[in-house]
Structure 1
Amino acid sequence: MASSVVSASKNKAARSTSPPPLSDFGALQLAGDAFHALADTMPQIVWSTLPDGSHDYYNARWYEFTGVPIGSTDGEGWAALFHPEDQPNAWAKWRHSLETGEPYEVEYRLRHHSGEYRWMIGRASPIYNGQGTIQRWIGTCTDVDDQKAIALQNEILSQELSHRIKNIFAIISGLVSLSARAEPALSSLAKELLGRISALGRAHEFVRPHTEKSRPIVGDGHFSALLEQIFIAYHAYSEGRITVSGSEIPVDSKAATPVALVFHELATNAIKYGSLSSDKGTVSIKVNQSDEFAQIIWREEGDSCREPQAMAAGFGTRLIDMAVRQQLGGDYTRRWSDKGLRMEVKIPLKRLRAS
């Protein structure tokens, strides 16, 4: 709250009995008994400051919550009630609001009269006069400690569930590998299946709940960052022969799985049949965005290559069709030339964007 970060108040009482100048309409309104009565009935802490940020009013909720005597938090008395770690950020944001007139919002921990610290959201907005000059600031403090505790508990549960899902991917991969060793005739099929499982695992790692330590490893939640996670397993990507450019579009957990399957399949086919089967071949992926759709253009450049007959109606094609058209609600076209495959995928943004 801004009361955590304001200049020393010149008013020593919570409710001044001295009327403000009649020319100051805003101050006149705020000093009235009607305003004080209304503020005291609110469940939130309510406060106001002068244009320079000096506090001149706290409602009854402030004193009930903190347990301090009326007037004792004027001046710099409020400072002792805020968690020391939260004061610098609150000060910086409050000074910015005072300088720019922008609304103020910050989270911080406020000491309850029991001695514990509880999380608050402090908000404030300026009140202007007819000439566009700030007359004062009106602010509130809302207790969100219980909500933050629930959110933290949910985050821990989500991370535990994600960890178990990750273990399931590892178990499935292990079972496929064991089966392939027992039946050498299935080794080719097992290799393809392991590739798809690996792509799903990387997609899950990309969208799973992260801590501050793990998040930088997988990057942000955008389309290009997801493609990077899919392609990172291919030497052609580290060699710079697979490139991604264009718009940054958020991708949520529902969309990540079909996207991973589609582009893993395209990359695998490019290595087996297309441009990446040559050491000099390249693949470029361009991501464009309109008001309603994402357009992804896959373009291969390499030595002379033709679409294999087996690929035209194979499992990979059916997988791409299912992922794009059924799961993502989009469509695609593809065309082969002497240089390789050119494929255009169109997906509704609402099916991609993180919620």
Structure 2
Amino acid sequence: MEQNNPGANADSMGAVGEPMRAPWLNGAPTPADALSQSRAHLQVLTYAMPQMVWSTRPDGFHDYYNARWYEFTGVPEGSTDGEEWNGMFHPQDQDRARTRWRRSLTTGEPYEIEYRLRHKSGEYRWTLGRALPVFNDEGAISRWIGTCTDIHDAKMAAEQNELLSRELSHRIKNIFAVISGLIGLSSRHDPSVRGFAKELQERIAALGRAHEFARPHSEASRPALGGSTLKGLLLEIFSPYPAFDAGRIAVVGDDVPVDDRGATPIALVFHELATNAAKYGALTTSDGRVDVEILRANGSVRITWCEAGGPIIDGEPTRTGFGTRLADMSVAQQLGGLIRREWKPSGLCVEIEVLIDRLSRDL
């Protein structure tokens, strides 16, 4: 009878006499199996996505596109590998897209750009391209994963809305001009109202500037002075005054968004303040100045107007003018805020406080 040799099958038997199995045969995958499984999962995920998905090596060499890419472009599979992808863009967008992509490859910053991509129909459609780097354990970029999203219809709708907005704005400005012209013509027949008529025309002009500033804008038509913000609006209102070009009207502090909800009352108030300063206050002298400070805190914004260097003020006026009543109405009734005045010997100081969400619907 053969005797058992305990060591005869040491490499092939377990502790209880069963054959030993390699770890991956017991359910633990090899690195190659894990990589293959990961690729399979990625392929299923990218094929299920509605966007075009692509991937590149760290140097930017395109080596993967999902089915959506080939469905959209209609090109043969593999024909856009490497650098051939750039030829799919509109000729006017190719240099811009290549430059932006190279910058991301060099810096590692996310890639995002809008360009026109050639559809299988031959039409160039606007597309949003995005890509992010994938980092390995050493912190180096191992791949780039990107997407292309067809935004053509949304882009065309936005351009159409911009055209309509411009046309509407043009008509509104014409209405302002007609009203101002009617006031001027009417005042010619009654010299006693010419002074009031001129002031009214100036107020209408201020409203026109506020409307142009706060109406919906595209990136191309947006005002150059600060966008649709409180600072930008104030600078627009002050721009016609010579003291502004001379640097004697300064606007400092925080900034908050403003739209047509807050632009009209703010424009009226600060037009009145600037006009009065130029007629009776600090801006009547060559050394006089106005400092406007904006402070944002606890959901409110406080705007302080302080004049200095003008005629000495004896005290608060005994009579309240129309402009003052208009300013009070604009702040209190339209913005639901508070307005306080202090008639210092050195100049008028006005403090306006309103809730930030009364200046813009988006807040």
Please tell me the TM-score bracket, short chain as reference: 0.7 to 0.9
- Residue 308 (structure 1) aligned with residue 317 (structure 2): yes
> What TM-score comes out, normalization by structure 1 length?
0.83
Q: Equivalent residue for 1:187?
A: 194
- Residue 86 (structure 1) aligned with residue 109 (structure 2): no
Q: Equivalent residue for 1:251?
A: 258
In the alignment, the residues of structure 1 paired with residue 159 and residue 200 of structure 2 have an alpha-carbon distance, to the nearest angstrom, of: 37
- Residue 73 (structure 1) aligned with residue 41 (structure 2): no
- Residue 324 (structure 1) aligned with residue 316 (structure 2): no
In the alignment, the residues of structure 1 paired with residue 297 and residue 323 of structure 2 have an alpha-carbon distance, to the nearest angstrom, of: 28
Q: Equivalent residue for 2:184?
A: 177
Cα offset, 1:236, TM superposition: 3.4
Residues 255-334 of structure 1: pairs in structure 2 closer than 5 A: 255-290=262-297, 292-301=299-308, 302-305=310-313, 306-311=315-320, 314-334=321-341
In the alignment, the residues of structure 1 paired with residue 324 and residue 104 of structure 2 have an alpha-carbon distance, to the nearest angstrom, of: 56
In the alignment, the residues of structure 2 paired with residue 279 and residue 352 of structure 1 have an alpha-carbon distance, to the nearest angstrom, of: 34
Contact between 2:261 and 2:360, CA under 8 Å: does it hold in 1? no
Whichever residue aligns with residue 202 of structure 2, its letter is: G
Deviates more, 1:73-82 or 1:214-223: 214-223
**CA spacing shift, 1:45–1:167, aligned 2, 3 Å:** same
In the alignment, the residues of structure 2 paired with residue 25 and residue 278 of structure 1 have an alpha-carbon distance, to the nearest angstrom, of: 84
Cα offset, 1:253, TM superposition: 2.7
Whichever residue aligns with residue 307 of structure 1, its letter is: E
**CA spacing shift, 1:217–1:95, aligned 2, 3 Å:** closer
- Residue 143 (structure 1) aligned with residue 153 (structure 2): no
In the alignment, the residues of structure 2 paired with residue 31 and residue 70 of structure 1 have an alpha-carbon distance, to the nearest angstrom, of: 18
When Rg is computed on C-alpha atoms for both structures, the one with the higher figure is 2
Aligned residue pairs, count: 332
The unaligned stretches of length 5 or more in structure 2 are 1-29
In the alignment, the residues of structure 2 paired with residue 88 and residue 25 of structure 1 have an alpha-carbon distance, to the nearest angstrom, of: 41
Q: Equivalent residue for 2:19?
A: none
Residues 1-355 of structure 1: pairs in structure 2 closer than 5 A: 23=31, 28-32=36-40, 34-209=41-216, 215=222, 220-290=227-297, 292-301=299-308, 302-305=310-313, 306-311=315-320, 314-352=321-359, 355=362
CA RMSD of aligned residues (A): 2.7
Deviates more, 1:103-112 or 1:288-297: 288-297
Give the 3-state SS of the residue equivalent to 1:310 in structure 2. Answer: coil
Deviates more, 1:264-273 or 1:64-73: 264-273
Contact between 1:205 and 1:218, CA under 8 Å: does it hold in 2? no
**CA spacing shift, 1:239–1:64, aligned 2, 3 Å:** closer
In the alignment, the residues of structure 2 paired with residue 28 and residue 128 of structure 1 have an alpha-carbon distance, to the nearest angstrom, of: 19
Give the 3-state SS of the residue equivalent to 2:342 in structure 1. Answer: strand
**CA spacing shift, 1:325–1:25, aligned 2, 3 Å:** farther
Cα offset, 1:209, TM superposition: 4.8
**CA spacing shift, 1:127–1:228, aligned 2, 3 Å:** closer
> What TM-score comes out, normalization by structure 2 length?
0.82
Deviations 1:184-217 (A, max 9, x none): 2222221221121111111122233557776566
**CA spacing shift, 1:216–1:321, aligned 2, 3 Å:** closer
Q: Comparing both chains, which one has the higher relative contact order based on Cα–Cα distances under 8 Å and sequence gaps of 6 or more? A: 1
Deviations 1:148-175 (A, max 9, x none): 0000000000000000000000000011
Whichever residue aligns with residue 342 of structure 1, its letter is: C
Whichever residue aligns with residue 310 of structure 1, its letter is: R
Contact between 1:298 and 1:342, CA under 8 Å: does it hold in 2? yes
Deviates more, 1:81-90 or 1:96-105: 96-105
In the alignment, the residues of structure 2 paired with residue 87 and residue 27 of structure 1 have an alpha-carbon distance, to the nearest angstrom, of: 35
Q: Equivalent residue for 1:16?
A: none
Contact between 1:159 and 1:208, CA under 8 Å: does it hold in 2? no
Contact between 2:291 and 2:305, CA under 8 Å: does it hold in 1? yes
Deviations 1:47-94 (A, max 9, x none): 122222222211111111111111111223222211122223322332
**CA spacing shift, 1:30–1:138, aligned 2, 3 Å:** farther
Deviations 1:319-349 (A, max 9, x none): 2122223322332221112122111122333
**CA spacing shift, 1:166–1:24, aligned 2, 3 Å:** farther
Cα offset, 1:241, TM superposition: 3.3
Deviates more, 1:134-143 or 1:192-201: 134-143
The unaligned stretches of length 5 or more in structure 1 are 1-21
**CA spacing shift, 1:43–1:199, aligned 2, 3 Å:** same
Contact between 1:283 and 1:300, CA under 8 Å: does it hold in 2? yes
Q: Equivalent residue for 1:8?
A: none
